[in-house]
């Protein structure tokens, strides 16, 4: 996650996107990074709870070691890798998806 944090901060403070307001840039950083970091932490907690829990990352579900307590509750790759929300306004006036 540290590498992702560094990349996000690098983008936010790049002259092309940074409007000069540090507080605003850090607010955008929190808006973007907190949901992703929370999902990664949730996945780590699930994996720590049950070493055999695949957390939706395995396509090979036809093995004896594939055990998921609740198929509907498992975290998927898509959920973890969900990108920036469409319409999120980055400084100065850059809008995700446009």
E strands in the chain: 89-90, 94-95
More confident residue, 11 or 66: 11
**For 33-60, what is each residue's pLDDT tens digit?**
888 888 777 777 666 655 555 555 555 6
Lowest mean pLDDT among 19-28, 35-44, 69-78: 69-78
Q: Report the alpha-carbon distance of residue 69 to residue 52 in Å, rounded.
A: 10
Query: Domain spans of the chain?
Result: 2-95
Give the ranges where 50-88 is alpha helix by DSSP (H). Answer: 77-80
Nearest to 38 by CA among 4, 10, 88: 4
Provide the percentage of residues in the chain whose pLDDT is more than 70.
Answer: 45
Q: What is the largest CA-CA distance in the chain?
A: 55
């Amino acid at each position: 996650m540290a590498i992702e944090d560094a990349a996000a901060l690098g983008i936010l403070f790049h002259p092309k996107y940074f409007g000069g307001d540090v507080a605003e840039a850090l607010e955008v950083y929190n808006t973007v990074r907190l949901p992703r970091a929370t999902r990664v932490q949730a996945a780590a907690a699930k994996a720590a709870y049950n070493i055999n829990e695949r957390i939706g990352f395995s396509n090979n579900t036809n093995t004896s070691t594939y055990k998921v307590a609740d198929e509907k509750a498992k975290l998927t790759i898509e959920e973890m890798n969900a990108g920036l929300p469409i319409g999120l306004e980055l400084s100065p006036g850059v809008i995700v998806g446009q």
